[in-house]
């Protein structure tokens, strides 16, 4: 498998999950500094112009962080990255859908306002709102997401890889993480895992 990623982006959630699942894979960096994701040949591979993308050994091409994380969990059942009970698995996916549809989108308003508006003052207004919207999202995560040390209790699932990367953006988005003690403890717990530590050592986080 080949994971197309960029440092610090949501694609790192997939890198964490692949390491947690102990699945062999190759990482291919996409250079956001030169907007490589918006040009050929990357656009031929992924017309969405985003990361992550995962290319399987038979050429099958996957996008969308939540879908890729579910795939990784499914091909490594021994790693236990999805809860066994349907109701717990639904909670895990509820958190992942929230991250995809609400919190990641709130974060994107800081740098990617051109997706929604053309005027510079509109972009500035969107950027200025980010500390507030991300703090609102953090408050939701703090009180509703955790059912133990992790999202689904005391065992790590793919939602934790996703949540770690999104919460890693909070400081840069103007949110004081120390105001959210469960998130802060979760971030420390994740940082101590060999998967996250090795990605940090490699400069991906
Ligand atoms: N819904 C997609 C969103 C992916 C996404 O927006 N990734 C960002 C990085 S965090 C990206 O590739 N941005 C490049 C751009 O906007 O040009 C997913 O969850 O995989």
Fold of 86-199: Glutathione S-transferase Yfyf (Class Pi); Chain A, domain 2 (1.20.1050)
- Give the residue carrying structure tokens 């740098």: 111
Domain boundaries, the chain: 2-79, 86-199
pLDDT tens digits, 63-93: 999 999 999 999 999 999 999 999 999 999 9
Beta partners for residue 153, in sequence order: 150
For ligand 1, atom 12, name the residue with the nearest CA. 50
Minimal-distance CA residue to ligand 1 atom 9: 9
10 lines ligand 1 (CB under 6 A): yes
Q: Which residues contact 172 (CB under 8 A, 6 or more apart)?
A: none
The CATH number of the structural domain formed by 2-79 is 3.40.30.10
pLDDT in tens, 95-104: 999 999 999 9
- Quick check: 54 and 62 in contact, CB under 8 A? yes
Q: What is the pTM of this model?
A: 0.98
φ/ψ of residue 41, rounded to 5: -85, -5
Asked whether 9 lines ligand 1 (CB < 6 A), one says yes
């Amino acid at each position: 498998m080949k994971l197309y990623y960029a440092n610090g982006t949501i694609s790192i959630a997939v890198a964490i999950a692949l390491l947690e699942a102990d699945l062999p894979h190759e990482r291919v960096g996409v250079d956001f500094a030169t907007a490589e994701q918006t040009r050929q040949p990357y656009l031929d591979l992924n017309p969405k112009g985003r990361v992550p993308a995962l290319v399987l050994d038979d050429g099958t091409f996957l996008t969308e962080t939540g879908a890729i994380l579910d795939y990784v969990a499914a091909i490594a059942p021994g790693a236990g990255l999805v809860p066994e009970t349907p109701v717990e698995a639904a909670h895990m996916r509820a958190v992942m859908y929230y991250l995809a549809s609400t919190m990641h989108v709130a974060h994107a308003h800081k740098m990617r306002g051109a997706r929604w508006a053309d005027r510079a003052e509109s972009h500035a207004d969107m950027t200025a709102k980010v500390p507030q919207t991300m703090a609102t999202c953090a408050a939701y995560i703090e009180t509703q997401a955790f059912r133990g040390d992790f999202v689904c209790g005391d065992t790590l699932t793919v939602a934790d890889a996703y949540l770690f990367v999104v919460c890693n953006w909070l400081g840069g988005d103007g949110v004081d993480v120390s105001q959210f003690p469960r998130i802060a403890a979760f971030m420390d717990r994740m940082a101590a895992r060999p998967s996250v530590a090795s990605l940090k050592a490699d400069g991906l986080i």
